[in-house]
Amino acid sequence: MREVSRFRTWNVYCVENTETCDHLFVSCGFAQIVWQVVFQWCKLQPVIAFSIRYILDAHKFFGGSVKKKKAFHAVCLVTLWAIWTHRNDLMFAGKAKSITAIVEEIKAKSYTWVKHRSKEQLISWEQWRGLMFFEVLFVRSVWF
């Protein structure tokens, strides 16, 4: 039988810090790298967030239509989910993934979430993965 300490309070990504929601999902070095890559994929300026609340509200701070904000919000939710599931895989099964693998998972799951919740025709997987979708949504919304 595998022994798992139920009393462990340190973060699996950086052993020296206590595992809190804000630290695990936002301020941990691992989470910060994931967020930087996700924001880069979304063609947005990296944001230094200090709380999970900021991440949950991040879509409100960017220009564009309601549809655009909802798509970005979905990406943020999927990113939180990916960090959480990777943490659990690492902690309970000893399985680690690269940042690249995690971000590819975020792209795939966010596409599926948005595709199945949208009432309108969505762009193709290739456009979403290459982020032509967000380029159109966010870059054009600034200029037009």
Query: Is 72 inside a domain boundary?
Result: yes
85: closest CA among 34, 130, 10? Answer: 34
pTM of structure: 0.81
pLDDT digits (tens, 9 = 90+) for 40-68: 888 888 788 889 999 999 888 877 778 87
- Residue whose C-alpha is closest to residue 133's, from 142, 122, 120: 122
Closest C-alpha among 64, 34, 66, 63 to residue 55: 34
Q: Is residue 111 part of a domain?
A: yes
Write out residues in the chain with pLDDT < 50, as ranges: 1, 3-9, 135-144
Asked if the structure places residue 125 within a domain, the reply is yes
CA dihedral (100, 41, 118, 79) positive or negative: positive
Specify if 4 maps to a domain: no
pLDDT tens-place string over residues 61-72: 877 778 878 889
**Confidence (pLDDT) at 136:** 44
Is 124 in a helix, a strand, or coil?
Answer: coil
- What is the span of the domain harbouring residue 51? 21-143
For tokens 């199945």, the residue is 116
At residue 34, the pLDDT reads 95
